[in-house]
Chain A
Amino acid sequence: MTKPGDRSYKRSWKNLLINKRYQLRFTLFMVGLAALLMLGLGIWVMRVANETTTVSMASVRGEACPKVPTLGNGAANGDDEDAAPAPSMKLDESLDGSVGDSPSPASSASPNDPPATPSAPAVDRTGSAAGGPAAADDQPESDVAHMVAHQRRPRADRPAESGSAAADEPRKVQVQIDESSMTLTQAVPADFADRIVAHWSCELRQAATFERLERGRLRILWAMIATGVLLVLGLALYGIKMTHRVAGPLFKVSLYLSKMRAGRFDKVYNLRKGDQLVHFYDHFKLAHGGIVQMQRDDIARIAAVISAAEAAGAGQHPAVVELREMLARKEKSVE
């Protein structure tokens, strides 16, 4: 701070901390309190925000997306209800039906069937292959897909036709497929693509929702941290500035007190605009005025005695000399 007599003194950031103990104590109290409050309530907010995020995510998870339709084995994918029914491969059942009962050349050799290889033995409707059992045995197992279906083959649920009677009955049809392949082409549902799109749209929407919820949770966290930091910094600055308005007048009064202690009673100037403790300062000014008045009373009284002594011819008396010194000191103090 500059001289107290300097009435044009302006506040400066360098002088904000005049009374460190008082200013820092108050400011740190406010800052600490605000930080504690923010921390406590922030933890509470985050706990509730986490709970809300968890609940919202659970809610989103609860909305099931349409399943992906499959063309293959539905059981493998766990899509029993959506899977297309698998074509029956039970040749024995079909053979139990029309094929076995009324075999026809057209049914056994349809135009769509792949042509038999020349080396393949012809199907023998009488029950044996053209090459006979010996010819069939000559083909290795790995090379020939061997499937034999017996018409009226004895089944476990047909105990009536048991034993030797069935064995003795001559076979009507024997089918042997060698080196053949069969492609099963399933019909694609009309809404297959839509269902795929709907499924993945739903999955992506849910993922986006999760991300949004998590982002919202983090936004709350960061917003609170940023607010807390700003609050603490702002409060610290404001606190120092506010306490400076109290510490400033106290500092000014302290300077006057130092002068008074040294026996100097200069003129007291007013506080700066915005300072606090105005009434306190008024009390100080009254006190200062009272002390100055005391000195002036002393001066008047001493001057009267010196004047009377000089008039009486005792001007050189040591006591009068001492009074003159005292008078000079007092007059100097109130200049």
Chain B
Amino acid sequence: MSDPTAATGLPSTPRSRHQRKLANYMLDKSLQLRYVLLVTILSAVIAGALGYMIYDQRRTASESIERDLQALTQADASHQEFQEQVASGLESDDQALVYKMVAVGFALVIILSAYLVIMTHKVAGPLFKVSMYFDHMADGRLGTVTPLRRGDMLQDFFGDFKAMHESLRARAQTDVEAMERVHKALREAGNQADYRGDARARLDDALDALDQHIAHRKKQLA
């Protein structure tokens, strides 16, 4: 899957009411096209092979009729025109059958491709969304996770991801609260106790850094 965030310029936090758009249906080209091409090529091969059989059988029947008609009318020159007319009719019928089958084949391929793009989008969509959250996590951001859209697949996987994300977020919040509490306690203790000068300066620096760290974490958890 390509970088979903970079590709679409998504905002930092996912929208809760994301609607499907035609332009976004090919979220993961390699995954979706693999399915689409497989099913489409397979259908085209089946349709082509059976279509050829249909045409071949039909052509055999037409040739048989033409041959019989020729045998019947060969003695009479006046029937030559009739025979040519019938042969021409059969020829055009066969041609029409080919056009009909080609049209059915194209319609089949187009409908199948469209349907498969929609169907694979229901897999690629959740993967795209989770990828987006992964990118946020890579930056240390643990915002809230919104549910998938209705009709999306991989709901179980997304449930696992959401549980993990909420667990991390809860633990990070607990840690931040604990660090905040420790920071406050040590700051108060430092003010009350008579710590040695150099050590006190180091502790103050460490507590300042912890304070900044807590602020940064809070920002990430917002």
Contact = CB atoms under 8 A, between A and B. Distances in A.
Instruction: Judge: A and B partners, yes or no.
Output: yes
Per DSSP, chain A at the interface is helix
A261 B167 contact: yes
Interface in B101-153: 108, 112, 119, 123, 127, 130-131, 133-140, 153
Interface string B157-193: 1001101100110011001001101110110011001
A62 B57 contact: no
Interface string A23-40: 001100110011001100
Contact of A283 (B131, B140, B179, B213): B131
A263 interface: yes
A257 B168 CA distance: 10
A311 B131 contact: no
Interface in B195-212: 195-196, 199-200, 202-203, 205-207, 209-210
A262 B160 CA distance: 12
A280 B190 CA distance: 48
A178 B163 CA distance: 124
Nearest to B52: A45
Per DSSP, chain B at the interface is helix
Interface string A51-93: 1100110110010000000000000000000000000000000
Nearest to A257: B164
A322 B175 CA distance: 11
B1 A41 contact: no
A19 B158 CA distance: 13
B53 A220 contact: yes
B96 interface: no
Contact of B50 (A44, A257, A302, A305): A44
Nearest to A55: B61
Given A286-B138, A311-B203, A319-B189, A254 B157 contact: yes
Interface stretch (B8-16, B17-25, B37-45, B77-85): B37-45
Interface string B65-96: 10110011000000000000000000000000
B133 A45 contact: no
B160 A52 contact: no
A200 to B, nearest CB: 23
Contact of B61 (A21, A56, A301, A322): A56
B140 A290 contact: yes
B153 A22 contact: yes
Nearest to A49: B57
Given A55-B65, A311-B199, A283 B134 contact: yes
B169 to A, nearest CB: 11
Contact of A298 (B119, B175, B183): B175
Interface string A288-330: 1111011001100110110111011110011110110010000
A235 interface: yes
Contacts of A302: 179, 210
B186 to A, nearest CB: 5
A323 B108 CA distance: 66
Interface residues of A, number: 73
Contact of A33 (B28, B43, B175): B43
Contacts of A21: 153, 156
Nearest to A21: B156
Given A33-B39, A311-B202, A289 B138 contact: yes
Contact of A322 (B58, B133, B164, B182): B182
A128 interface: no
Contacts of B210: 301-302, 304-305
Of B61, B154, B171, B205, most buried by chain A (CB within 10 Å of CB) is: B61
Given A41-B50, A312-B200, 6 more contacts: A37-B108, A45-B50, A48-B54, A260-B168, A276-B34, A284-B134
Interface of B: 1-4, 28, 30-31, 34-35, 38-39, 42-43, 46-47, 50-51, 53-54, 57-58, 60-61, 64-65, 67-68, 71-72, 108, 112, 119, 123, 127, 130-131, 133-140, 153-154, 156-157, 160-161, 163-164, 167-168, 171-172, 175, 178-179, 181-183, 185-186, 189-190, 193, 195-196, 199-200, 202-203, 205-207, 209-210, 213
14 contacts: A26-B35, A37-B43, A37-B47, A41-B47, A55-B64, A56-B60, A263-B167, A280-B130, A283-B4, A293-B140, A308-B199, A319-B181, A319-B189, A326-B175
